Amino acid sequence: MVTLASTLSDPANAMRIRFNNFDVLSADPGEKEGGKISFLVDPNILDSYMSLTLYGAICKTIKKDPKRTGRVILVNRPALYDELRDLESVLFGTDEDRLDKLKVVQFIRMYNTNSKNTWNQPVFRVIEWATNVAPASIFDPPEDFELPSSSE
């Protein structure tokens, strides 16, 4: 995950938060060759397709200051580790009862954007989740939302 401290500490994101989700090839030596990882990127950093060049630049930036990785999370959003564990369980777990075992995430919404030929992947997926303190209406459209009529 790559995010800004301001995104994690913004009160507007306390109950519901959105990230762009990319599948990228793992560069970790411990991963099997060709293994993919799910990479979450704050839309305030990148809200579009991620090319290999952009991915490389983000990874280089992270590696420049590895001591800083994770520190901001503890200060600005202490439950984020549990949120990420819940997401991992829902998206990649195999336990049939995993939705009943979530600690801090209540709702998850995910959708794909258009496809690109470069990686044969969706340009990116958008994933949003709401914490267990969010009201059931958290993903409802605003009251003034209207679908455009077919004559427009």
Tokens of 33: 């060759």
Q: What is the pLDDT of residues 40-98, one digit of tens each?
A: 999 998 888 887 788 888 878 777 776 665 555 566 787 888 999 999 999 889 999 99
Query: Do 7 and 16 touch, CB atoms closer than 8 A?
Result: no
Amino acid, single-letter form, for residue 124:
F
Listed by start position, the domains of the chain span 5-131
Tokens of 141: 């459209």
The C-alpha atoms of residue 36 and residue 77 are separated, in whole angstroms, by 27
Query: Do 82 and 106 touch, CB atoms closer than 8 A?
Result: no
Give the closest residue to 48 by CA, choosing from 136, 124, 144: 124
Q: What is the pLDDT of residues 92-151, one digit of tens each?
A: 899 999 999 999 999 999 988 876 655 555 568 899 999 998 998 888 877 887 877 765
